[in-house]
Structure 1
Amino acid sequence: MLVGYMRVSKADGSQTTDLQHDALIAAGVGPERVYEDRASGKRDDRPELAACLKGLRDGDTLVVWKLDRLGRDLRHLVNIVHDLTEHGIGLKVLTGQGAAIDTTTASGKLIFGIFAALAEFERELISERTTAGLVAARARGRTGGRPFKMTPAKVRLAMASMGKPDTHVGDLCAELGVTRQTLYRHVSPAGELRDDGKKVLSRR
C-alpha cells in the first residue's frame, strides 16, 4: 500500500500543499492515505509525520514529493529510512534531488546507501573535530564541559557555614546559587569537606 506525506513550512495559509497533493495522487496514493503537516522541517513535533510513520506496516511504501519534505537534515533522513527499512517499509521520492531514491528497487537502495555512508562520514568528522578541539584546549590548560557550580570560595564559605547551628541550608544554597544536592556533594551537614569539595579546592 502507498502512503503519502506532505509538508509546508508555514501554517498561516501563505503556502499550499496543492502541488504535493496532486503529485502524490498521480503516483497512486489514495486521498485518504495522505498525511499533512504545516511546520518547519527542523521541528521535531510534527504530529502528522509521527502518525504516518506509526501507521505504516510491512510491505507499505512511504511516498513524498521531495526529500526535504520528510527530514530536517541528512542524518535525520538516514535515521528515518533506516527505521522504515528495518520494518520492511519502502520510501519513494517523486522529484527533486532525491528523485532517484526508491528503496523498493535495487538502484534506489544503492543511492540511499551512498547517502547513509555520507551521513556516517559527517558524524565521524564532527567527532574528530570535537576530540581535536578538546585536546588542543587541554594543551592550553583548559578543560571542556560545563563550568563548575562550586568554586573554591563557595566551598570554603559552605564549610564555615554548615558547621554553625543557626545556618539555614535553604538560604545558604540561595546565596551560593546551588541546589541542596550540589551542596551536600561537596560539604557534609557538619561542614566537613567531601570528595567533590576536595576536587574543587585542588583545582588551579
Structure 2
Amino acid sequence: MGQKVGCARVSSLDQNLDRQLELLQAAGASQVYKEKISGSTRHRPQLEEVLRYLRKGDQLIVTSMDRLARSLVDLHTIVEDLVGRGVSVRFLREGQTYSAKADPIAKLMLGLMGSVAEFERSIIKERQAEGIARAKARGVYKGRAKVLTDSQVALARQWVDDGVPKAEVARRLGIGRTTLYKYFRGEAGES
C-alpha cells in the first residue's frame, strides 16, 4: 500500500481547517493538502497539486464529498480519474471508499451520495438567499462593505485621467482591477 494523503478545504479564509485536519490525521493521513478557497472555483491549486502527486497504490482521504468537489460531474471526474490511476478515494463522513475493485453498487452509491451533497448545497443557498431578502426588506442587510471611500475613488479617477494605468491604480489602492472597474461603473458596495 502506498501513502495515505489527506485533502482539506474550507470555502473562505475566515473558516477553520482544524476539525478536518484532526479527522484526516486520525484516519492515517501522513500528509495533508490544505486549501481555503470556494469549491465552486475551477482553479484550485492545492487540489491540482494533490491530484498530480498521487501515485498508484496511494489513498486520498477526504472528510466529505463536498470538500472534494462542488458538483456531481466534478466529483465523478475526479474519483474516476484517481481510481483509473490505481488511487483509492476514501470519504470519512459518508463511510465510503472507492478503488479499482469498486463494484457497480459502489459506483451507484457515489452518484447517490454526490447527488445528496449537491442537493444539500442548493437548499443552503436557497435559505441564504431567502434570509438576505428578508433582511433587505427590514433594511438590515446592506450588502458587502465598501472597500474604497468616495475620496479614494475620486483619487483613482484622477490618477487614470493623469494617464496612470488602471492596473497600477488598483495596485496602489490595494484592490483588484475588477473591483476598481466596479467602482468606476458605480456598482461597488451595492447590495
Counterpart Cα distance in 2 of 1:104 and 1:118: 16
Question: Residue 97 of structure 2: SS of its match in structure 1?
Answer: coil
Deviation at 1:104, TM superposition (A): 3.9
Pick closer, same or farther for the CA change 1:36–1:113 going to 2, 3 Å.
same
**Residue 4 of structure 2: aligned partner:** 2
How do 1:8-23 and structure 2 match up within 5 A?
8-11=10-13, 14-23=14-23
Aligned mates of 1:108, 1:25 — CA distance in 2: 28
Which residues of 2 match residues 53-64 of structure 1 at below 5 A? Answer: 53-64=51-62
Is 1:103 equivalent to 2:93 in the alignment?
A: no
Contact 1:58 1:88 in 2 (8 A): yes
> For residues 51 and 64 of structure 2, what CA distance do their matches in structure 1 show?
17
Q: Which of 107, 113, 127 is 1:112 aligned to?
A: 107
Q: Structure 2: which amino acid aligns with 1:16?
A: N
Provide closer, same or farther for how the CA distance between residues 117 and 5 of structure 1 changes in structure 2, counting only shifts above 3 A. closer
Q: Which amino acid aligns with 2:106?
A: I
- Which residue of structure 2 aligns with residue 73 of structure 1? 71
Q: C-alpha displacement at 1:112, in angstroms?
A: 2.9
Distance (Å, rounded) in 1 between the aligned partners of 2:36 and 2:112: 30
Residues 5 and 117 (structure 1), Cα distance of their counterparts in 2 relative to 1, 3 Å cut: closer
Deviations 1:73-111 (A, max 9, x none): 11110010110011000000011xxx1320149678733
**In structure 1, C-alpha distance between the alignment counterparts of 2:60 and 2:33, rounded to whole Å:** 10
> Could you tell me which amino acid in structure 2 is paired with residue 101 of structure 1?
Q
Q: Which amino acid aligns with 1:46?
A: R
CA distance in 2, matches of 1:72, 1:66: 11
Q: In 2 relative to 1, CA 8–59 (structure 1 residues): closer, same or farther, beyond 3 Å?
A: same
How many residues were matched structurally? 112
Q: Which runs of 5+ in 1 are unaligned?
A: 120-204
Structure 2: runs of 5+ lacking an equivalent? 115-191
Q: Does the CA contact (< 8 Å) of 2:59 and 2:88 recur in 1? A: yes
| Structure 1 contact 101–112 (Cα < 8 Å) conserved | no
| Cα distance per residue 1:159-197 (max 9 Å; x no partner) | xxxxxxxxxxxxxxxxxxxxxxxxxxxxxxxxxxxxxxx
Normalised by the length of structure 2, the TM-score is 0.54
